[in-house]
Structure 1
Amino acid sequence: MIIGIPKEIKTLENRVAMTPGAVESLVRQGNEVLVEAGAGVGSGLTDEEYVAAGAKMVSPADAWGAEMVIKVKEPLESEYKYLRSDLLLFTYLHLAAAESLTNALLEAGTTSVAYETVESADGTLPLLTPMSEVAGRMATQVGAHCLEKTQGGQGILLGGVPGVYPAEVLVLGGGVVGTNAARIAMGMGARVTILDLSHARLQYLDDVFQGRITTMMSTEPNIRDMVQKADLVIGGVLLHGAKAPKLITRDMLPLMKEGSVIVDVAVDQGGCVETTKATTHDNPTYVVDGVVHYGVANMPGAVPRTSTFALVNQTAPYALRLAAKGIDALKDDPGLALGLNTYKGKLTCPAVGEAFCIGSVTPGDVLS
């Protein structure tokens, strides 16, 4: 198969979809790999390293002209022209928050497999997990930075100092993002509360953190009460493939402290805060009702060296299987089949269909 690796063009997105090591594995399998010149520079990977691995360095159009294109982030509007019916696209898509991209993929007839909806046999999300780990840990870091007075925050040191009370951190969602955010916040000395809908998950977190954090059920009264106390709120809610629920509503913001901070990691799926909007690394925050909002939609892109290798560790085995068998690889793996979001003009992710009131089928319907 001919495989293309384009350079990411999202603002300050420095990750790359395949490392030279992964390219070497693809070439050894008999594939031809076309890497856009400079695609790996932001992650500290040179064109020479890709050439040594067996890749050919090409233009953007040539990389997109491959049979299968592997990316990190979803295609932007300027890349829609490259979508076509004989293309297999393997990348993060987050279609439930991207109606124009959904329509572009359907109109082009592109077959797309989204990292974030691929599942393991145990129901976990193996291709989303590494970036959720990065984003969760970063959420606490950037939240601590935004709490500084020079960044518009209250002027609070997250962990406080002896004799001075530390910051209150509220984490919405006890999944991968929330767990990692809480771990860093606790390590920095903050007082941490995690809210989640699953009692079993709260039991697990209480055991893991040995009672050093507070766990609460995620109910509207609890959220409304806790946002009034919080200095930093981290949104880590995820519904597989679906739009994130709005847990913090517009009317809750005036209840929050002046200069408090919200870091909404769920922004890729539309955000779990009603006032969330996507921002970029070069202009990451805005203020609503005195509350600082951080809504960068590609947080791991700020630490590309770590993120690229963490991501490719998980995506490369799937890429090798797709390169070997094409769409038939999905028939052999029900979890990979769940990654199928669009196929020959059909929407194959029902959660996205619900978000936009578009008719959909299941991956099984088209693969059978």
Structure 2
Amino acid sequence: MKIGIPKEIKNNESRVGMTPAGVYELTKYGHTVYIQSTAGEGSGFFDNDYKKAGALILDTIGQVYGISEMIVKVKEPTEVEYALVQPQQIVFTYFHFASSEALTEAMIKSKSICIAYETVEDDEGTLPLLTPMSEVAGRMAIQQGAKYLEKPVKGRGVLLGGVPGVAPGRVLVLGAGIVGIQAAKMAAGLGAHVTILDINMKRLRYVNDVMPPHVVTEFSNEFNIRKHIKTHDLIIGGVLLKGAKAPNLITKDMLKEMRPGTVIVDVAVDQGGCVETTKPTTHEDPIYIIDDVVHYCVANMPGAVPHTSTMALTNVTLPYVIKLANLGWQKATEKDACLQKGLNIVEGEIVYDEIKEAFQI
């Protein structure tokens, strides 16, 4: 199969769809891999590295889309890429369709095969291709939140870990999934007091078992959320509904109950956000302020640490890419029920129920 790796063109997105090691594995199976020139430089991988691994370098993104039977990338196609996607072409990437009607309509029109990383689901109900980026984003959420709590960027002026004689900062984590647990782990490591909320008691019991005593769990409901937002300095939104739009757990009116300089990091922004006032931002312009509350809503947080992120992503996507290349998408999804759940749009038809629900189709 002819496999194309285009350069990511989303704002400040420096990840790339595959490492040279991944290319090497694909060429071992006899597949041809095309890489757009300089696609990997942001992640620390250069054209010569890909050449040595057996890839062919193409100058433009149009050439990559034009010659490839399967496109492997990181982020959803941007508006300038919509017209490049071809009928029956496999596009394997993060799509997050439920948060973008324009993208959904464009991919329906393209008649392509859209397989979304974020909905590939294993037998245990986990999302193996979303997990590594959720791990990165969860850890980064605390890193970024700590920075934006500083007074020069309009935060409360709180040091998360505190100092002797001064209480540590307080972090509220919404959701005890991968993002939430990684965020709680990082915040706890800094010495912050952490409260983590979820509606899944099994997850809360797990958190209670593995986290230190200054990480406390509570059942998630509106009453508890309203109670905690008044006293916490940093709020992490880490709620995920598989393939669907995230629920608004924090509404606009709740912002007035927060102290000035409170920071919200909404990691669920790719799925529409779990805060009503969330709107996607970029690494170039990452924050905005509403009612004195700082919002950090960067839609591609792991793109800020592309070397780590690209390697972590290739580790989990490569087996599926090999399966799709060896068997074709129809046989691959027939034989692999996990991969079949990644099918979102097939030749103009939405085949994933949560996307239909999002747009009331």
TM-score range, shorter chain: over 0.9
The 8 Å contact of residues 240 and 246 in structure 2, kept in 1 or not, is answered as yes
Shift of 1:86: 2.0
Query: For 1:42-121, what aligned pairs fall within 5 Å after superposition?
Result: 42-58=42-58, 59-65=60-66, 66-121=68-123
AA matched with 1:153: G
Give 1:2's aligned residue: 2
Give 1:35's aligned residue: 35
AA matched with 2:93: T
Bigger shift: residues 110-119 or 207-216: 207-216
User: What SS does the corresponding residue of 2:230 show, helix, strand or coil?
Assistant: helix
Give 2:340's aligned residue: 337
Counterpart-to-counterpart distance in 2, 1:207 and 1:315: 31
Give 2:223's aligned residue: 221
Counterpart-to-counterpart distance in 2, 1:148 and 1:298: 22
TM-score of the two chains, using structure 1 as the length reference: 0.96
Counterpart-to-counterpart distance in 2, 1:339 and 1:200: 26
Give 2:14's aligned residue: 14
Give 2:247's aligned residue: 245
Shift of 1:129: 0.1
AA matched with 1:61: G
Give 2:354's aligned residue: 351
Give 1:363's aligned residue: none
Give 2:131's aligned residue: 129
User: What SS does the corresponding residue of 2:104 show, helix, strand or coil?
Assistant: helix
The 8 Å contact of residues 33 and 55 in structure 2, kept in 1 or not, is answered as yes
Shift of 1:17: 0.5
Counterpart-to-counterpart distance in 1, 2:63 and 2:53: 19
AA matched with 2:95: L
Counterpart-to-counterpart distance in 2, 1:271 and 1:158: 24
The 8 Å contact of residues 34 and 62 in structure 1, kept in 2 or not, is answered as no
Does residue 323 of structure 1 match 2:331?
no
Counterpart-to-counterpart distance in 1, 2:54 and 2:117: 25
The 8 Å contact of residues 95 and 352 in structure 1, kept in 2 or not, is answered as yes
Counterpart-to-counterpart distance in 1, 2:166 and 2:179: 28
User: What SS does the corresponding residue of 1:326 show, helix, strand or coil?
Assistant: helix
AA matched with 1:349: Y
RMSD: 0.7
User: What SS does the corresponding residue of 2:217 show, helix, strand or coil?
Assistant: strand
Counterpart-to-counterpart distance in 2, 1:133 and 1:209: 16
AA matched with 1:92: Y
Counterpart-to-counterpart distance in 2, 1:191 and 1:225: 16
AA matched with 2:65: W
Shift of 1:165: 1.1
Give 2:172's aligned residue: 170
The 8 Å contact of residues 262 and 293 in structure 2, kept in 1 or not, is answered as yes
User: What SS does the corresponding residue of 2:317 show, helix, strand or coil?
Assistant: helix
Which consecutive residues of structure 2, in runs of 5 or more, have no partner in the other structure? none
Give 1:23's aligned residue: 23
Give 1:366's aligned residue: none
AA matched with 1:24: Y
Counterpart-to-counterpart distance in 2, 1:230 and 1:325: 51
Counterpart-to-counterpart distance in 2, 1:121 and 1:199: 21
AA matched with 1:164: V
Shift of 1:212: 3.1
AA matched with 1:39: A
Cα shift readout 1:48-99 (whole Å, capped 9, x = no counterpart): 0000111000021121120000000000001001122121000000000011
User: What SS does the corresponding residue of 1:229 show, helix, strand or coil?
Assistant: coil
Counterpart-to-counterpart distance in 2, 1:210 and 1:55: 47
Counterpart-to-counterpart distance in 2, 1:152 and 1:163: 24
AA matched with 2:15: R
User: What SS does the corresponding residue of 1:51 show, helix, strand or coil?
Assistant: helix
Counterpart-to-counterpart distance in 2, 1:29 and 1:5: 17
AA matched with 2:276: E
The 8 Å contact of residues 264 and 295 in structure 2, kept in 1 or not, is answered as yes
Counterpart-to-counterpart distance in 1, 2:103 and 2:145: 30
Shift of 1:211: 3.3
Identity fraction in percent: 56
Shift of 1:310: 0.5
AA matched with 2:335: D
Cα shift readout 1:106-143 (whole Å, capped 9, x = no counterpart): 11111110000001111110000000000000000000
Shift of 1:210: 4.3
Counterpart-to-counterpart distance in 2, 1:21 and 1:335: 24
Counterpart-to-counterpart distance in 1, 2:226 and 2:202: 23
Counterpart-to-counterpart distance in 2, 1:85 and 1:272: 34
Counterpart-to-counterpart distance in 2, 1:111 and 1:354: 20
AA matched with 2:216: T
Cα shift readout 1:166-215 (whole Å, capped 9, x = no counterpart): 11100000000000000000000100000000111111100011433110
The 8 Å contact of residues 188 and 212 in structure 2, kept in 1 or not, is answered as no
Counterpart-to-counterpart distance in 2, 1:180 and 1:337: 28
Bigger shift: residues 62-71 or 295-304: 62-71
